[in-house]
Amino acid sequence: MSSPSPVPPVQLHIYPAKVLRQKAKPIDKFTDELRQVIARMFEVMDVEEGIGLAAPQVGISLRLFILDVPENAKRGSLATSIPPSASPGRMVFINPVLRFEGPVEPMDEGCLSLPEITGEVLRPPIVHVTALDEFGKPFTLTAGGLLSRCIQHETDHLDGVLIIDKMTQPSRVKNRIAVKKLEND
Ligand code: NI
């Protein structure tokens, strides 16, 4: 018989779950339990076939997200110091702080917490990030392309912001019924 796991349940939360609208708290303890949560998040992201997942999306209101962006998209990034613990494609961002560069441009985005919904979101093309890895070690990164998109999308989750808040007007209209359906489920 095994002892009960100290790790809270890590499962995908779908809009309009309240946790998706909360401002998440910074992380100040880099424990084995935190790293177990992160490992579970990677499992959930793999099952759902996502390329990014933020802690609030699994019911945990902490400033943490993970990415598994395809390598060809990562090569478009202008990395200054890649997180030392990151395996190829897989990255962990804790307490990220972003600085943006360039005029906003549209790109199609989806979100695991908003099934059936995709639409154009306006964001600046370049992002400069400072964050901590799962051991509390700081790193910096400058990203463009899909990697920049994902970093901005996941950081929005930490502030309770979703793509439906930032979509262009035509995309809002296109998704109106799907959003209402999720709200009424
Ligand atoms: Ni999302």
- What is the per-residue DSSP string for 86-146? PPTTEEEEEEEEEEEES--EEEEEE-TTSTT-EEEEEE-SEEEEEEE-TTS-EEEEEE-HH
Digits of tens for pLDDT over the chain (185 positions)?
555 556 678 999 999 999 999 999 999 999 999 999 999 999 999 999 999 999 999 999 999 999 998 776 665 555 555 554 455 678 999 999 999 999 999 999 999 999 999 999 999 999 999 999 999 999 999 998 899 999 999 999 999 999 999 999 999 999 999 999 999 98
Asked if 162 and 111 touch (Cβ cutoff 8 Å), the reply is yes
CA of 84 to the centre of ligand 1 (A): 25
Rounded distance from Cα 4 to ligand 1 centre (Å):
30
pLDDT of amino acid 84 = 45
User: pTM surpassing 0.85?
Assistant: yes
Active-site residues, by number, are 154
In three-state secondary structure terms, 105 is strand
Gap from CA of 10 to ligand 1 centroid (Å): 16
CA–centroid distance, 103 to ligand 1, in Å, is: 22
The CATH classification number of 18-184 equals 3.90.45.10
